[in-house]
Amino acid sequence: MVSSYLVLAGRADAQIEVRRSRFRCRLERVSTEEAARAVVERARKEHWDARHHCSAFLIGPAGELARSSDDGEPSGTAGAPMLEVLRGAGVSDVVAVVTRWFGGVLLGTGGLARAYGDAVRAAVGDADLLERRLFRLWEVTVPHADAGRLENDLRSRGVQVRGVSYAADATLTLAVESEITGLLAELTGGSAAAREVGEDWVDV
């Protein structure tokens, strides 16, 4: 079971030149296949004068959803090397698009594979990455009068407060990596109890 993986903090771009051919890589964070394909289409429209827009994406904590496209390059010379670089970097929820402008010199299958992989490697090297971890979710119900103070105290201890809902009482939803009951007892004098309600991925 994967408990953490890397994601992009923002878009990253890099460009390399190999024997007069230019390879421009765009990396973006995505959470669905549709979003990944939309990034590819944006690159295709933005760089309409380029011959190839090859792509690879990984989605999910273990990169469960993986796709790649050679977009007209010889089979296996673009998408697969790009995907391998993403896997090797340990990053997921990401799409890489490498746009190639042909420079007039044939690179051969080995040269193409190296160039496409190197373009992605350069972009990953320039990217800011975040760790994404699996946190446990807890709910804590307290009187309205105590909710603001408790929220501030929890945040000051590094606890992620995902939200507060108000009904007869106030219910705080918390995300923590392990146990919360001891800290909660300390902050409320034992007057509030937490109940575990699931888990979710959190950027840290």
Q: What is the pLDDT of residues 5-44, one digit of tens each?
A: 999 999 999 999 999 999 999 999 999 999 999 999 999 9
Best mean pLDDT range from 21-35, 96-110, 190-204: 21-35
Rounded (10°) CA dihedral 18, 22, 27, 30: -120
Mean pLDDT (the chain) is 94
Same structural domain, 123 and 137: no
Q: What is the pLDDT of residues 123-178, one digit of tens each?
A: 999 999 999 999 999 999 999 999 999 999 999 988 999 999 999 999 999 999 88
Task: Check pLDDT > 80 for residue 4.
Answer: yes
Same structural domain, 82 and 162: no
Same structural domain, 98 and 52: yes
Same structural domain, 61 and 118: yes
Tell me the pLDDT band of 2, cut-offs 50, 70 and 90.
confident
Same structural domain, 122 and 146: no
Task: Answer whether 93's CB lies under 8 Å from 31's CB.
Answer: yes
Cα torsion angle, 7, 13, 17, 22, sign: positive
Q: Which residues contact 9 (CB under 8 A, 6 or more apart)?
A: 127, 128, 129, 130
What is the tally of structural domains in the chain? 2
Domain range for 149 is 131-203
Same structural domain, 85 and 150: no
Same structural domain, 117 and 148: no
Same structural domain, 32 and 86: yes
Same structural domain, 92 and 161: no
Cα torsion angle, 111, 114, 116, 118, sign: negative
Residue 29, Cβ density class (10 Å: 0-12 exposed, 13-18 middle, ≥19 buried): buried
Same structural domain, 110 and 156: no
Domain final residue, candidates 127, 161, 181: 127
Task: Check pLDDT > 80 for residue 1.
Answer: no
Q: What is the pLDDT of residue 106?
A: 85
